Amino acid sequence: MGIQRSVSTTLSETCATTLMETVPLLMQVIRADMRAIGATTLSVPQFRTLAFLDRHSGASLSDLADHLGVTAATASATVERLVQQNYVQRLSHPQERRKVVLSLTEVGLQHLQQARSQTRRQIAALLDRLSEDQLLQIDQSLRSLQQIFELRLNDPESSA
C-alpha cells in the first residue's frame, strides 16, 4: 500500500505541476486573443470584475476585492470606472447603509457575453487542430477538474 500511495502522490504532483504551468499560459493566450480581436476595451481586472459579478450578483465590494486580490480602495476604483461605463450598478445595501451591493447592468452583461463568445471562437479555432479523441479527453479531464475545484471552493475545510 505504501508503494501505491507513493506512485499516486507522484502522479498527482506531476499533474498539479502541469496544471500550474498550463493555466497561466492559457490565461495569457485568452488575454492576448481578447485584445487582438477587440473583444473588450476593458482591462483584465475590469473584465474579471464583470465575470465575478455575473456569477455573484449582489456581491459586496469586499467580496470583489477578495476575488481580485486587491484592496477595497482598488476594487472601488475599478467599480467606479465600470459604473461610469454603465456596466455595473452600485446600490446601497438595504440593511447596512455603509455597505454596497454590486451587480451587472444589462449593458455590462451584453458586453461580457460578447467578449466571452468571441474569445470562445478563438479558442475553438485553436482546438480544431486536435483529434476528436483528444478533444473528448480534454473535455472529460476539465470537467473532472471543475468538479474537484468547485467542491474545494464550496468546502474550504476539504482537502480532497
The residues spanned by each domain of the chain are 42-105
Distance (Å, rounded) from C-alpha 52 to C-alpha 116? 13
Q: Which three cell numbers stand for residue 93?
A: 445595501
Distance (Å, rounded) from C-alpha 63 to C-alpha 49? 11
Kindly report the CATH number that applies to the domain delimited by 42-105: 1.10.10.10
pLDDT of res. 116: 85
pLDDT of res. 160: 46
pLDDT of res. 37: 64
pLDDT of res. 35: 72
Query: 75, 65 in Cβ contact below 8 A?
Result: yes
Block mean pLDDT (10 aa), the chain, length 160 = 60 92 90 69 84 94 94 95 95 80 95 87 93 97 94 71
